[in-house]
Amino acid sequence: MEQAQSEQELEYVGFWARMLASLVDTALLTAVIIPVMLAIYGSAYWEDERIFKGYGGVLFEWILPIAAVLAFWLVKQSTPGKMMIGAKIVDAATGGNPQPMQLVVRYIGYYVSALGLCLGFIWVAFDKRKQGWHDKMAGTVVVRRKDHGKKEGVSFKQG
């Protein structure tokens, strides 16, 4: 992260803001996936209880969301929901752009965070740096400009 965005200008993004961002992202993905799946399978889409609903299901329900999220993270350090709240993902140690492998680990960490009644996501509410388990696994934090709230500034180690 450039020195221009000093630690006094940023804050960690907490649980409720991140929950809102996640709901927005889910709604956007659903708005794309459902019409496509209905076009492919018709009303049988709703009747099929299998997790993998053929090639179209794997492509549009599993691969597309993974690719879309990773692409947004790589290009914008954010998803549309996070952009809406002014948040972005940064390296926890430097405040700079996360490495691609960090983002892949972060996405895999979503599945770990979902274990145990989503305790890994709820962890954001109690963690000093507002990190979920997926953030801790990847070495990332979610930050935004301080003028979105009134919490203490963010400090990154220089090294």
For residue range 81-119, what is the model confidence (pLDDT) as tens digits? Answer: 999 999 999 999 999 999 999 999 999 999 999 998 999
Alpha helix (H) ranges present in 5-125? Answer: 15-41, 44-47, 54-57, 64-76, 80-84, 100-122
Is residue 33 within 8 A of residue 102, CB to CB? The reply is: no
What pTM, to 2 d.p., does this model score?
0.83
- pLDDT level of residue 159 (50, 70, 90 thresholds): very low
> So where are the chain's domains?
10-148
For residue range 53-78, what is the model confidence (pLDDT) as tens digits? Answer: 677 778 888 899 999 999 999 999 99
- Determine the Cα–Cα distance for residues 139 and 106; give it in Å rounded to an integer: 8
